[in-house]
DNA sequence: GTCTATATTGCGATAGAC
DNA sequence: GTCTATCGCAATATAGAC
C-alpha cells in the first residue's frame, strides 16, 4: 500500500492547496482529508514543502503532456485554434491548475516559480513563432508587435477560466449553453479577425 | 499621531498582504514593518481580520473613484478605448490591486469576496451595455454574444498587468518602450477590428 | 509503513503598566 | 496612545513503539 498512501496524500493536498494556498492548510488537515496520519507526510515527502513541490510537479506534467506537440507545419491560424482547444483540455484535465497559477501571479514565489520557469517560456516561444510565420505569409497584419500580441492571445484564452472562478452568474444569467465552447469559438474568431491583414 | 499610526499600519499591511496573502503574514510582521507594536492592531482594527478589511476597503475605493464615470453618451468604441485608459490609471494608482484580485481568483473567500461583489458587477454592467449599443448602431458584428465578449475584453486589458507580475523578461528581451501603451493600443485595436461589422 | 506522543515554535489576542 | 508580558492555542516536525 505504500504508493497508494503517498498518492492519497498528494491528491488530498492538491485540492486543499489549490483552495486555500500553502499557508492556509495544515498538514493535519491534509492527512485527515486523505484518511492518513500527519506523520506520514514527513515520512514520504520530507516536509510540508516537499509535499507541495510534489503537487506542483504533477500539475506541470499534465501541461507538458498536452501542450507541446508539433505545430510548426500547420497554418498559423490553425495553431491558434488548436491552442484554444488544447487549453480546454488542460483545464479539463486539471481543474485546479488555474488556482495554482493565480496564486503564483499574486506571489511569484509562494513556494517556487513554476509558472515563470516551466509553463510560460515554452508557450511564449511557440506562439511568437506562429505569429511571426503568419506575418511572413501575409496572413496577419505586418505591424503586429509579437510580444504584446502573444500576451493578448494567452490572456484571452485563459481569462475565461479565471472569470469562472468568480462565480459571476449573479451579474446576469449565463445563457443556456453559453459555455466554454461558445466563448472559445468567439474569442478565437475575434482575435483572428482582429489581427488579419486587410 | 493617532491617525498617523493607523495609516502606517494599514499601509504596511497592504504591501504584505498583497505579497504573501492573509495567512502568510503575521500581525507581528506587519507591526514591525510599520515600526509599531503589534498590540496596536487590535487597538485600531479590532483584529487581524479587521485590518485586512480596512486594506481591501481602501483598494475598492480607488477603483470606484476612477472607473465609474458617465460613459453612456460616448461612441461605444470610445468607451472601450477609455476603459483601457482608465485601467492604466487604476493599476498605476494601486500597483498592488491586481495581487489582491489574483488571490481572490484563486480563493474567492480568502477573507471576503470583494472582487465578486464590489468590482466585477458594475464593470460588467457598463461593458455589456456598451457592446449592446455598438451592435444596435451597426458598428459591431450582430452575432456577438455579449457576455463572452465582455469577459474577453476585460481579460485582454487586465492580463497584460498579470503577465507583468511574472517577470517574463527572460523569455525574450522586452523591446525598448514596448510598454503598456504599446500593448493597450494594440490590444484595443485588435479587439475593435475583431468585433467590427464588415 | 503507520501510529501515538511530544518537543518546539510561532500565532492572535489581551491585560495592565505608563 | 503605546508599550511589555503573557495566555492559550495550533502549527510543523520528530522520536520511538508497534
pLDDT digits (tens, 9 = 90+) for B153-174: 999 999 999 888 776 655 555 5
User: Residues A146, A126: contact at Cβ < 8 Å?
Assistant: no
Domain boundaries, chain B: 2-46, 56-195
C-alpha cell of B40? 496596536
Rounded CA–C1' distance between B44 and D6, in angstroms: 21
User: Please, which positions of strand C sit below 7 A from a protein CB?
Assistant: 1-5, 10-16
Give the mean pLDDT of A85-111: 85
pLDDT single digits (tens) B64-88: 888 877 777 889 999 999 999 999 9
- Closest CB to B102 among A106, A145, A195: A106
**Which has more pLDDT, A132 or B165?**
A132
What's the CATH architecture for A56-195? Orthogonal Bundle (1.10)
Q: Spell out which residues of chain B touch residue A182, defining contact as CB-CB under 8 Å.
A: 145, 148
List the nucleotides on chain D closer than 7 A to a protein CB.
1-5, 10-16
For residue range B12-36, list pLDDT tens digits in order: 999 999 999 888 899 999 999 999 9
At A140, phi and psi to the nearest 5? -110, 160
Query: Domain B2-46 carries which CATH code?
Result: 1.10.10.60
Whether B151 and A170 lie within 8 Å, measured CB to CB: no
pLDDT above 70 (res B178)? no
- Determine if strand C comes within 7 Å of the CB of B47: yes
- Give the pLDDT mean for B90-103: 91
Closest residue, chain B, to A188 (C-alpha): B194
Cα–Cα distances (Å) from A157 to A88, A164, B99, B189, B192, in that order, read: 9, 12, 20, 18, 17
Work out the average pLDDT over A105-128. Answer: 78
Phi, psi of B140 (to 5 degrees): -110, 160
The residue among A56, A87, A106 with the most chain B CBs within 10 A of its CB, best to mutate, is: A106
Amino acid at each position: 500500500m505504500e504508493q497508494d498512501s503517498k498518492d492519497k496524500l498528494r491528491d488530498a493536498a492538491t485540492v486543499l492547496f489549490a483552495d486555500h494556498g500553502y499557508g492556509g492548510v495544515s498538514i493535519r488537515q491534509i492527512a485527515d482529508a486523505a484518511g492518513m496520519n500527519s506523520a506520514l507526510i514527513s515520512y514520504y515527502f520530507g516536509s510540508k514543502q516537499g509535499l507541495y513541490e510534489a503537487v506542483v510537479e504533477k500539475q506541470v506534467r499534465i501541461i507538458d503532456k498536452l501542450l507541446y506537440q508539433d505545430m510548426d507545419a500547420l497554418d498559423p491560424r490553425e495553431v491558434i485554434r488548436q491552442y484554444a482547444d488544447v487549453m480546454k483540455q488542460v483545464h479539463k484535465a486539471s481543474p485546479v491548475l488555474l488556482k495554482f497559477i493565480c496564486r503564483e501571479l499574486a506571489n511569484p514565489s509562494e513556494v517556487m516559480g513554476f509558472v515563470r520557469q516551466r509553463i510560460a517560456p515554452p508557450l511564449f516561444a511557440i506562439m511568437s513563432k506562429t505569429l511571426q510565420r503568419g506575418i511572413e505569409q501575409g496572413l496577419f497584419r505586418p505591424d503586429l508587435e509579437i510580444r504584446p500580441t502573444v500576451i493578448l492571445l494567452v490572456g484571452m484564452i485563459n481569462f475565461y477560466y479565471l472569470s469562472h472562478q468568480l462565480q459571476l452568474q449573479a451579474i446576469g444569467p449565463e445563457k443556456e449553453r453559453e459555455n466554454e465552447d461558445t466563448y472559445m469559438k468567439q474569442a478565437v474568431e475575434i482575435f483572428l479577425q482582429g489581427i488579419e491583414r486587410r
